[in-house]
Amino acid sequence: PIIEGEIPESWSVNPTESFWTWEKDKGILTVSLDKKEETWWPSVVVGEPEIDTQLVDSTRHISEYDDKTQATIRKIVHDQNQKRS
């Protein structure tokens, strides 16, 4: 397995809003977890390498990111707005 481990209950996800997709022709599995709280997790699952969440700069303006990252951010924001509607 590429990732193996558990997500602690304190990191709560909305299972009905989380999903996975498999792009067979590309061999890509995408897992999207909808967090109950908007917060940074130190790792994907327990046991994986951790990041220092205090070092994450969440104050940067979208224009400071490259085009691909900007597109990803816009998609995430759009999806979140759709859920709220």
Q: Which amino acid is at 70?
A: Q
pLDDT top residue among 31 and 84: 31
Q: What percent of the chain lies above the pLDDT cut of 90?
A: 9
pLDDT digits (tens, 9 = 90+) for 35-67: 888 788 888 888 888 888 777 777 778 788 888
- Residue with tokens 């104050």, as numbered in its chain: 59
pTM of the prediction?
0.52
| 55 SS3 class | helix
Point out which residues pair with 31 in neighbouring strands: 20
Residue 16's alpha-carbon distances to 11, 26, 56, in angstroms, are 15, 26, 28
Determine the pLDDT at residue 59. Answer: 76
